[in-house]
Chains A and B, each alone.
Chain A
């Protein structure tokens, strides 16, 4: 136990004193977030709201005019189905639907007969800022339309709809977390191969230190760094980019640990076949870049050609990032959470199996 602890501390010291390792694992992901955050948060300040008028009466046209008069609202017009599709893809932040019979209901309500007319408002609660903006704007518009009518003749019916596309930063933060855990794990190959090349593993084999202690201390060190990465990335996402974490932080931490273990196991596969530190570096790059771009890190998988989607279906990072999005920001699921966990665990078991068979100590 003492040996395991000492070796873990030694590994952490070596890691923290390695500026390059620190940069790639802690600073690099943040650069990504800030870069993409800046790209996507720029542009129009107007809130895009979809407007579908299925009623077509003077009353609905009047409400349309009130909406158009609001300077911070950009109305996107279309049928309900068209606009729901746009909403799903994140092209509009919310959707106002005026159903048939609205005009008659308004007239009745103003005459003091019957309930107020309903206007359906769709928002995605997982995007708290944009959903709040839409609800606030619609409420303001309706209040204006209701002026002088007591009781109000128009009320909003709030409908929640989970969109597939989150806003860019909400989409990106869980992805970047997944990506950093992937890098943290796969990069474990490089110092391990280096230690073997420099005969450090052989030197340790000449002491009573057990192999499980050596591997255990490496994994513990990486998991500690993984948790640090998670705290930093989630913290920056929440504090700087207002990404609202809808799920449990424990679930996020649990997924982070599982993801780190999965990719550490992949790192060990690399270490089993790479003979030199340089070749380990090359193999790590050859694995991490395709993973980064094919696993829906920067854009959703369903915008890719179907052949590449088929590839993405096998990649562990697809499932880690997807699970992170589900847990962190209530993102739409590519696969159910249980499936994601099972796929990651499966990868880990297979990779550790391969490493146990092929890893050479000297």
Chain B
């Protein structure tokens, strides 16, 4: 376990969930401390949503233990629901009601709730307050979903792919919102398959694939543990085989991502000079040649052999 976690609010130990022959969640263990933004990162079908829904008390695990705010989730889901806030992947809710009506409806479910006006102000939904929810844009709808998750002023907020399908501006405004929640001291667990989202928001993250956690820690830790190297990338060149690329000076691995070749290397100048020599003998040129530090995207590609967005 990376990082010292004090005052743990989410504790997930060897959790398993099986559907038929499919191990959707296969022995997942992690902890989240109070006030942290923790990310579950992985491609579709990695088991992120199933894990989160077990923590929310919406699904029961087949094995392992889940504890949120000191409450055994499997044993007392109703006690937990008063104290957590949740968004699901689809945020379609009561299309015929207005924002104010939906917020008031959700407030009636909880013993303790924030004033509707405060929620509307915080989420910046004022101008649409009396608009039917079906008339909202994707970003506004997602903000309403977050507002509904905050109705009971929860200590822990679960956000399942909060920015999937949003345009860049709406995504950025939702990130700001998540930062505001962190500033209020809330603990946030979010799932995402966007690298830049995890890099921008998460204090710590766990990378999941095929129901397992394959890497965990801060973004910096995860990247540097996997890569001391940098990435040299260029558009794929016909006739330049992987075997030849791998044999170049200081190259540790060769990856392909959507027509782009990635050479991970500890010695950038040596690798590039080998590359240029090779292209020259072919009478070709390496186009869009760039050098960059390794990112989470590289980690993911390295771990799974697939790009995260696939």
A residues touching B (Cβ–Cβ < 8 Å)? 2-3, 5-7, 10, 13-14, 17-18, 198-200, 202-209, 362
Q: Are A208 and B109 in contact (CB-based, < 8 A)?
A: yes
B residues touching A (Cβ–Cβ < 8 Å)? 56-59, 78, 81-82, 84, 86, 88-90, 92-94, 96-97, 101-102, 104-106, 108-111, 132, 148
Q: Are A10 and B94 in contact (CB-based, < 8 A)?
A: yes
B-chain residues with CB within 8 Å of residue A13 when the two chains form the complex: 96-97, 101
| Given A3-B108, A6-B108, A10-B105, A200 contacting B93 (CB threshold 8 A) | yes
| Given A202-B88, A206-B81, A3 contacting B101 (CB threshold 8 A) | no
| Given A206-B58, A208-B78, A362-B58, A198 contacting B97 (CB threshold 8 A) | no
5 residue pairs A–B, Cβ–Cβ below 8 Å = A5-B108, A10-B97, A199-B92, A206-B57, A208-B82
Instruction: Identify 9 new A-B residue pairs, CB closer than 8 A, beyond the known A7-B105, A203-B93, A208-B81.
Output: A3-B108, A7-B108, A10-B101, A198-B93, A200-B92, A202-B88, A203-B148, A206-B58, A207-B109
Q: Are A17 and B96 in contact (CB-based, < 8 A)?
A: yes
Cα separation A6 to B101 with both chains bound (whole Å): 10
Give A338 Cβ to nearest chain B Cβ, in Å.
Answer: 41
Q: Are A2 and B88 in contact (CB-based, < 8 A)?
A: no
Give A10 Cβ to nearest chain B Cβ, in Å.
Answer: 5
Give B180 Cβ to nearest chain A Cβ, in Å.
Answer: 22
Query: Within the complex, which residue of B89, B104, B111 is in contact with A199, where a contact is CB–CB below 8 Å?
Result: B89
| Given A2-B108, A6-B108, A17-B96, A205 contacting B89 (CB threshold 8 A) | no
Closest to A21 in B: B96
Cα separation A2 to B93 with both chains bound (whole Å): 20
Q: Are B109 and A198 in contact (CB-based, < 8 A)?
A: no
Cα separation A14 to B101 with both chains bound (whole Å): 11
Q: Are A207 and B81 in contact (CB-based, < 8 A)?
A: yes
Q: Are B58 and A202 in contact (CB-based, < 8 A)?
A: yes
Closest to B132 in A: A17
Give how many A-B residue pairs fall within 8 Å (CB-CB): 62
Cα separation A6 to B109 with both chains bound (whole Å): 9
Cα separation A14 to B59 with both chains bound (whole Å): 29
Kindly name the residue among A2, A18, A199, A206 whose own CB sees the greatest number of chain B CB atoms within 10 A: A206
Cα separation A107 to B169 with both chains bound (whole Å): 106
Cα separation A2 to B56 with both chains bound (whole Å): 24
| Given A206-B81, A362-B58, A3 contacting B109 (CB threshold 8 A) | yes
Q: Are B105 and A6 in contact (CB-based, < 8 A)?
A: yes
Closest to A4 in B: B108
B-chain residues with CB within 8 Å of residue A209 when the two chains form the complex: 109
B-chain residues with CB within 8 Å of residue A7 when the two chains form the complex: 105, 108
Cα separation A249 to B105 with both chains bound (whole Å): 35
A-chain residues with CB within 8 Å of residue B110 when the two chains form the complex: 207-208
Q: Are A14 and B105 in contact (CB-based, < 8 A)?
A: no
| Given A18-B96, A198-B92, A206 contacting B86 (CB threshold 8 A) | yes
Cα separation A5 to B108 with both chains bound (whole Å): 9
10 closest Cβ pairs, A-B complex:
A6-B108, A206-B86, A17-B96, A207-B109, A14-B96, A209-B109, A198-B92, A208-B81, A10-B105, A3-B108
Give A12 Cβ to nearest chain B Cβ, in Å.
Answer: 11
Cα separation A14 to B110 with both chains bound (whole Å): 22
Give B44 Cβ to nearest chain A Cβ, in Å.
Answer: 16
Kindly name the residue among A14, A202, A208 whose own CB sees the greatest number of chain B CB atoms within 10 A: A208
Closest to A209 in B: B109
Q: Are B89 and A6 in contact (CB-based, < 8 A)?
A: no
Cα separation A13 to B30 with both chains bound (whole Å): 44
Q: Are A199 and B109 in contact (CB-based, < 8 A)?
A: no
Query: Within the complex, which residue of B58, B84, B101, B132 is in contact with A205, where a contact is CB–CB below 8 Å?
Result: B58
Closest to A6 in B: B108
Cα separation A8 to B155 with both chains bound (whole Å): 29
Q: Are B96 and A203 in contact (CB-based, < 8 A)?
A: no
Cα separation A176 to B90 with both chains bound (whole Å): 40
A-chain residues with CB within 8 Å of residue B101 when the two chains form the complex: 10, 13
